[in-house]
Amino acid sequence: MVKKSLFENLAEKEQRLLTQLSKKKKDIQVLACNGKESCALIDHTKLEPYNLIIGIIRNDEKLCIGRYGEQHFSFPVDESTSLIRVWIDVIEQNDVKFHINCRDQYYELFNDDEEVEYNDEIMIALLHCPDFVQFSVYDGNLPYRKSSHIFTASRTASENIKIIAHSMLNQHFPGLSRFLIQLDGDGNEAE
């Protein structure tokens, strides 16, 4: 069962996305976590088991939360926890829009075909399950084509994507990799 607390205070566009998700009208996904509970829904299917890490860097604020193994976390540990919802709207294979609700602020991130002003916004979302890995990135520092969304069931590609994702996350959140190893207890990622 999906926790209602993860879907409180939805913005108007989030309400529409939730309706589309429930009616299975489009390829809509939602990843949500508040540091104490989480959910991962893809095509109206609640995933279990899964690991989820969401990192948001915006307006000089950094927030990294997720679920690793069976444990929920926020990093750095002394940061106050906040709900993050990442809606992934796959319009076409190469056209993905991220709808973000972080600290009760809703905004959208997507590719621009034309060069636009830089912004310091970064969003990294890594979801891995026993059968697949999904990696989503938005980097506002790039001049255009700022986002990427990769899904693979290939074991080799999954391992490579996890290495890239953890490297990026650790660069933006120094010490995260060691924290996750301690969180896991024995140093092995949950698969």
**Tens of pLDDT, residues 16-32:** 999 888 887 678 999 99
Query: Helix, strand or coil for residue 90?
Result: strand
Question: Does the residue 46 lie in any domain?
Answer: yes
* Domain boundaries, position 159: 4-184
Band of pLDDT at residue 187, cut at 50, 70 and 90: very low
Asked if residue 17 belongs to a domain, the reply is: yes
150 lies in a domain?
Answer: yes
pLDDT 10s digits, 112-146: 766 666 688 999 999 999 999 999 999 998 887 89
pTM, 2 dp = 0.91
Please report the DSSP string for 144-161 in residue order: S--EEEEEE--HHHHHHH
Report how many domains make up the chain. Answer: 1
Tokens coding 155: 């074991």
Buried b / exposed e across 81-117, counting CB within 10 Å, b at 16+? ebbbbbbbbbeeeeebbbbbbbeeebeebebeeeeee
Residue 189 counted as domain residue: no
Measured between alpha carbons, how far is 52 from 31 in angstroms, rounded to an integer?
8
Does residue 176 sit within a domain? yes
Averaged pLDDT for residues 163-186: 92
Which of the two residues, 190 and 85, has the higher pLDDT score? 85
pLDDT tens profile 57-114: 998 889 999 999 989 999 987 666 789 999 999 887 678 999 999 988 999 998 876 6
Q: Is residue 191 part of a domain?
A: no
Higher pLDDT, 35 or 162: 162
Residue 8 covered by a domain = yes
Cα–Cα distance list, 170 to 167, 173, 174, 177 (Å)? 5, 5, 5, 6
Nearest alpha carbon to residue 73 among 190, 186, 183: 183
